[in-house]
Structure 1
Amino acid sequence: MSIVISTDKEKLDINFIHEFLTRSYWAAGRTKEQVKTTIEHSMCFGIYLDEKQIGFTRVLTDYVVYAYLMDVFIIEQQQGNGYAKQLMQTVMDHPELQAIRRWMLLTKDAHKLYQQFGFDSMDNPSWVMGKLNI
């Protein structure tokens, strides 16, 4: 079995990505058109096992100051095999993302994964603000 991680958006299976995201706690209700738009405006990473997509993530970034890691997933059948770590390592090692000063992400349940790559609670969470349009 061979794993390939690619930033080639042409290889991404939009239906697969949309199907997973609509079942997730963070993207339930996102339409396929919205998924396409997010992909168009992000640096995307697909992970493939024997040429079949098993996971995805995307980075919203200006390539210098800020990067926001989003929509990280490995399908349920392949979780626990270290593929999320491989995907994260590939993102963190990508040459175009090395100058970024601040990385951010939101997670409800994957803190241990992200801590392995230097993510932690913010020193000054009161500095962070947000606006949620529902």
Structure 2
Amino acid sequence: MKAFRDLVESSIATGSLVGVDSLLADDVVFRSPVAFKPYPGKAITTAILNGVSRVFEDFRYVSSIEEDNRSALVFEATVDGVTVNGCDFITTNEDGLISEFTVMVRPMSGAKALMDAMAAQFPQIQADAVAYMEAQQ
């Protein structure tokens, strides 16, 4: 999805993806590369994506595949000095909003580094999700 890629490429280095929520459907489902259960909803997905922007270093998309309402955005980054290769699989709904967001990463050392870094972020992610929900009411 070009709008998401453009937003990430222009702002991930700041540690915040301001405006990412405007690209997400209210009922978006986020699937983490390191958690079994999906995370449903715009608030938690926004908070997770912002958390990711705080842990990835030297992030860059290296290629993409677009087909109808589906995109695969291949990326490279580092987390705590460990190389991560991955892919964001994005599905959009009839309104053009992201309805499904699945992330896959490799190698195992990169997945472990990402898991550890995101675990450290999770208290902030939870607080951000609650604050987002309160602001929307």
TM-score w.r.t. the length of structure 1 is 0.31
TM-score w.r.t. the length of structure 2 is 0.31
More strand by share: 2
